[in-house]
Amino acid sequence: MRPIVRLLLLSTAALSLSACFNNEVPPIDLSGLCTYNTDPQAERCKAGQMAWFRPDQGKLISEEMALSVAAAYCDFNHPVMHNRAGVLCVFTDQRLAVAK
């Protein structure tokens, strides 16, 4: 293989991999906690804000419900905590349209 072709292939591979190392994480708003238990309530939360999915009247949720809430509303660039009492995470609005 010609050296120039090899160099072009290596350059292309390096450029395409550089997108994998984007460590830019949006800041977290620790000044408050957005608490919700319905989709319309979740829409009031702001991206980057700490958010707590808290079921009505202390009801416990299933693991499936916890995963569904996390999939719809949690920013996976930050830790997500969940148990049968709810889900606590950094809110994202990137998937609001999917959650409906």
**pLDDT 10s digit of each residue in the chain, 100 long?**
676 656 555 566 655 555 555 566 667 888 899 999 999 999 999 999 999 999 998 899 999 999 999 999 999 999 999 999 999 999 998 887 776 5
Structure tokens given for 9: 């292939």
Q: Where do the domains of the chain lie?
A: 26-99
Find, among 61, 94, 65, the residue nearest to 77 by Cα: 94
Parallel, antiparallel, or unpaired: how do β-strands 86-90 and 49-53 relate? Answer: antiparallel
Structure tokens given for 90: 């950094």
What is the Cα–Cα distance from 89 to 81, expressed in whole angstroms? 6
* DSSP 8-state class, residue 14: H
State the pLDDT at residue 50.
Answer: 96
Find out whether 18 and 40 touch, Cβ atoms under 8 Å: no
